[in-house]
Chain A
Amino acid sequence: MTEPLLHLSGVHTHIGPYHILHGVDFAVPAGELTMLLGRNGAGKTTTLRTIMGLWQASSGRIRFDGSDITTRATPDIARAGIAYVPEAMGIFTDLTVRENIVLAARSGPVDKNRLDWILGLFPALKRFWNLPAGNLSGGQKQMLAIARAIAEPRRLLLIDEPTKGLAPVMVRSMIEAFKALKASGETILLVEQNFYAASALGDNVVVMDDGRIVHSGAMSDLVADKDLQQRLLGLSLDAHQ
């Protein structure tokens, strides 16, 4: 396994009176796609938001690329090279597709070759380029959210349930897009409930339950072990195909 780009150790997060994360430990290796799995309410979204600084960890440490980012503000974490696609996608619906992407390119003009590559990944966005993003379907909004996250090269992508609520054909498109992103060397931490999609993409897997990490390892090991799937996730890969 390569040197981890992101490392969480003993992270606890409280939201108001609720103790959500209970000492979360895991690592995301550079250049690989790590799946974060778990049932609803397991703490996956809270983990991503805590990494992004949208909710502050009450204790523990988050290291990114050798630096401690635990207490940094969200814009500083983003500037360090982490892109975030929230579960609700966070699309600016009053802005056009173009303006959404322009805004994501903080350091200046969107590189033409990169934009061509992005629009190659998500060709549907071309058709709506100058229309308000609010006109897009759920799947197209998800494409835009991911396109925005990769408008500039980032060190790490945090993506929260990108296939949630999408039609099967859209899920397949999304899987192909993630495969292309993986092939380009992006480091990705992907929260997913669709085990079929997760197994098709993940190099590594981290499973959460009740705010704790209950399993981490190679995705291939989890795919091969149906008993482990049943125990950790209450499902098997067959049921999701």
Chain B
Amino acid sequence: MSDMAAQSSAPAELPRAKTDWLPLLLVPALAVLALPFVGSPSTWVTLTVAGLAMGMMIFLMASGLTLVFGLMDIINFGHGVFISLGAYATLLVLGPLAGWATADSIGLNLALLGLCILVAMGVTALAGAVFERVIVRPVYGSHLKQILVTMGGLIVTEQLIHALWGASPIPIPLPQSLRGAFVLGDIVMERYRVVAVAIGLIVFIGMQLLLNRTRIGLLIRAGVENPEMVEALGYRIRRLFVSVFIAGSALAGLGGVMWAFYRQTLTAGMGMEVMVLVFIVIIIGGLGSVGGCFVGSILVALVANYVGFIEPKLALISNILVMALVLIWRPQGLFPVARR
């Protein structure tokens, strides 16, 4: 980063910003609170790992949307289509490289997953560029039009997916090494979920580094708060908008791949189906906050898992309850982003 001189001129004993730990403590507090209700520690670990994995997948699907909303003030109801497109893009890799999925080689299996992710991100980035130019750009500044037009874009793209790949659900195989579970005593952790946690963490850390340690990250954070001032400093915010939209679409594509392998079935509506969850976590996290989206995703997924085990009848409303409680506590979300 180009601020070495700025760093060196400042006295070393300067106070540093205080971290807002309270929302971060919610996750361990929830986990500890759930333990006596779950009863068995091994079941609790299994549920916690499963919840973390689910949370990471939700985060991957939602992180792009929160950035797009925060920076561009765009309500993109069509975001789900990038999740579906990303999922279907796996077929472009699984078709010619089907043997890699069944090969008894962890290297080939992980390479296949990596290739699926790369291709899906490429496809959804391209689709995002087209979607922004054709559908979103004409409705900047009008939330109602954005909702209507992006919903329309979603329906059209879902129909295109039907036209290209057919309307029937398509089963996809999980690569051989990612099937099954790690068993440690009484604790069972599905391999794929552990991989999902790892990928989610890598993406989260990467996004944090990008947003907090690079000039482009500073620009995005500044643009979320005051795009006009960013322009007055000489930066072309429109290019930044488009880049973030494309990156957000690519992240949704990555989430789509992870979600697809988790479900092991592709349907054109799979993106739309998770959008309620996606909107809940970005609202809980604070619109525009990547850290908030991360914590919100984990919180929602853990609650769903614990409640689903303890009191299955309440599982359906647990997400809404979490959102209501968080918004009563912090009406702007866990990590509110300042806006102009």
List chain A positions with a Cβ less than 8 A from chain B.
52, 54, 73-75, 78-79, 84, 86, 90, 92-96, 98-99, 101-106, 108-112, 115-116, 119, 126-132, 134, 148
Known: A95-B222, A105-B2, A109-B3. A78 touches B10 (CB 8 A): no
The answer to the question of B328 belonging to the interface, with a C-beta cut-off of 8 Å to chain A, is no
| Alpha-carbon distance A116/B1, docked complex (angstroms) | 19
With a cutoff of 8 Å between Cβ atoms, the chain A residues found around residue B219 in the complex are 103
| Alpha-carbon distance A75/B228, docked complex (angstroms) | 10
Per the CB 8 Å criterion, the residue count for chain B at the interface is: 35
The answer to the question of B37 belonging to the interface, with a C-beta cut-off of 8 Å to chain A, is no
- Least Cβ–Cβ distance between A69 and chain B, in angstroms: 13
For residue B10, which residue of chain A has the nearest CB?
A129
Known: A94-B225, A115-B6, A127-B14. A103 touches B218 (CB 8 A): yes
| Alpha-carbon distance A127/B9, docked complex (angstroms) | 12
| Alpha-carbon distance A94/B3, docked complex (angstroms) | 18
Q: Tell me the chain B residues, 2-42 only, with Cβ under 8 Å from chain A.
A: 2-11, 14-17
- Least Cβ–Cβ distance between A60 and chain B, in angstroms: 21
A86-B3 in contact (CB<8A):
no
Known: A52-B232, A106-B234. A130 touches B16 (CB 8 A): yes
List chain B positions with a Cβ less than 8 A from chain A.
1-11, 14-17, 215, 218-219, 221-222, 224-226, 228-237, 337-338
B218-A112 in contact (CB<8A):
no
The 5 closest A-B pairs by CB, nearest first: A78-B234, A90-B229, A102-B3, A112-B5, A74-B231
Known: A54-B232, A102-B215, A130-B14. A92 touches B4 (CB 8 A): no
With a cutoff of 8 Å between Cβ atoms, the chain A residues found around residue B15 in the complex are 127-128, 130-131
With a cutoff of 8 Å between Cβ atoms, the chain A residues found around residue B338 in the complex are 93-94, 134
B231-A130 in contact (CB<8A):
no
Known pairs A98-B3, A106-B235, A129-B14 / 12 extra A-B pairs, C-beta < 8 Å: A75-B236, A79-B234, A92-B226, A94-B224, A95-B222, A99-B218, A102-B2, A105-B3, A105-B6, A112-B9, A119-B9, A128-B14
| Alpha-carbon distance A73/B231, docked complex (angstroms) | 9
With a cutoff of 8 Å between Cβ atoms, the chain B residues found around residue A106 in the complex are 233-235
B17-A102 in contact (CB<8A):
no
With a cutoff of 8 Å between Cβ atoms, the chain A residues found around residue B4 in the complex are 109
With a cutoff of 8 Å between Cβ atoms, the chain B residues found around residue A127 in the complex are 14-15
Known: A110-B6, A116-B9, A130-B10. A96 touches B234 (CB 8 A): no
With a cutoff of 8 Å between Cβ atoms, the chain B residues found around residue A78 in the complex are 231-234
With a cutoff of 8 Å between Cβ atoms, the chain A residues found around residue B231 in the complex are 54, 73-75, 78
| Alpha-carbon distance A105/B219, docked complex (angstroms) | 12
- Least Cβ–Cβ distance between B210 and chain A, in angstroms: 14
With a cutoff of 8 Å between Cβ atoms, the chain A residues found around residue B224 in the complex are 94
For residue A148, which residue of chain B has the nearest CB?
B233
Known: A110-B6, A131-B16, A131-B17. A54 touches B228 (CB 8 A): yes
With a cutoff of 8 Å between Cβ atoms, the chain B residues found around residue A105 in the complex are 2-3, 6
Known: A90-B232, A127-B14. A108 touches B2 (CB 8 A): yes
For residue A107, which residue of chain B has the nearest CB?
B2
Q: Of A86, A119, A129, which contacts B232 at CB under 8 A?
A: A86
- Least Cβ–Cβ distance between A28 and chain B, in angstroms: 18
Tell which of B11, B337, B338 has the most Cβ of chain A within 10 Å: B338
Q: Of B10, B225, B229, B233, which contacts A98 at CB under 8 A?
A: B10
B218-A95 in contact (CB<8A):
yes
With a cutoff of 8 Å between Cβ atoms, the chain A residues found around residue B337 in the complex are 94
B17-A115 in contact (CB<8A):
no
Tell which of B9, B215, B221 has the most Cβ of chain A within 10 Å: B9
Subset of 24 A-B contacts with CB under 8 Å: A86-B232, A90-B229, A92-B222, A92-B229, A98-B6, A101-B6, A103-B218, A103-B230, A103-B233, A105-B2, A106-B234, A106-B235, A109-B2, A109-B5, A110-B9, A116-B9, A126-B10, A126-B14, A127-B14, A129-B10, A129-B14, A130-B15, A130-B17, A132-B17
- Least Cβ–Cβ distance between B221 and chain A, in angstroms: 6
For residue B6, which residue of chain A has the nearest CB?
A110
With a cutoff of 8 Å between Cβ atoms, the chain B residues found around residue A111 in the complex are 5
Tell which of A101, A109, A111 has the most Cβ of chain B within 10 Å: A109
| Alpha-carbon distance A132/B225, docked complex (angstroms) | 13
| Alpha-carbon distance A20/B53, docked complex (angstroms) | 57
With a cutoff of 8 Å between Cβ atoms, the chain A residues found around residue B5 in the complex are 109-112, 115
A98-B7 in contact (CB<8A):
yes
For residue A93, which residue of chain B has the nearest CB?
B338
